Amino acid sequence: MPVRVCAHPLCAIALCTLRDRSSSASAFRDALTSLATVLAVEALTDLPLVPVGVATPLASTTGARMAGKLALVPVLRAGLGMVDPILRLVPEASVWHIGLARDEQTLRPTQYYARLPDPGAIARALVLDPMLATGGSAVATLDRLKTVHPGPIALLCAIAAPEGIDRLNGAHPDVRVFCGAIDRGLTDRGFITPGLGDAGDRQFGTAE
């Protein structure tokens, strides 16, 4: 499935701050909040709705509510910074968690935590991870998520590498990807270049 790259000016502004090595942790978090908000709006343009009656101060009319619920699935820990801005847009969304750690030698992800309750009336899920690099974490997350949610899924990320996109499309061609930019590629250590560094360390102030 083709990747949708955000063309909104606010995405470009946020990405500039995310990439800037001099940005503080707080500035990085603020920029990630802005970017996640715009990406979520784009990813939810076809959100299914049901009509409902609404009484205004003057008359009765028809409004709309979501048909089913939305699940947000941040990939720990970097994806946590993308949760709150989307919850502001959709306060009734559920938040599920999948924790993955990447082995820096093999570059393979290992799951260390998962909290995926009964999906119930979930209409769709948004997987949140600032970086789609090798694609290993994304594929592992989607493999696990699809065991409880076979419905529509989209992946939201700040930046993506061509290698990660190819791997994701090969394993999960039905998953839509919304990103701020597609970068040149990966280093020999599996980091996106030009990239933005380690998104988890930068947003939580743990970079060495």
Q: Give yes or no: 106 in active site.
A: yes
Residue (of 172, 110, 115) closest to 148 by Cα position: 115
In the set 106, 187, 193, 206, the catalytic residue is: 106
Q: Give yes or no: 201 in active site.
A: yes
Q: Give yes or no: 102 in active site.
A: yes
Q: Give yes or no: 118 in active site.
A: no
In the set 4, 77, 102, 108, the catalytic residue is: 102
Report, as residue numbers or ranges, the catalytic residues.
Answer: 102, 106, 198, 201
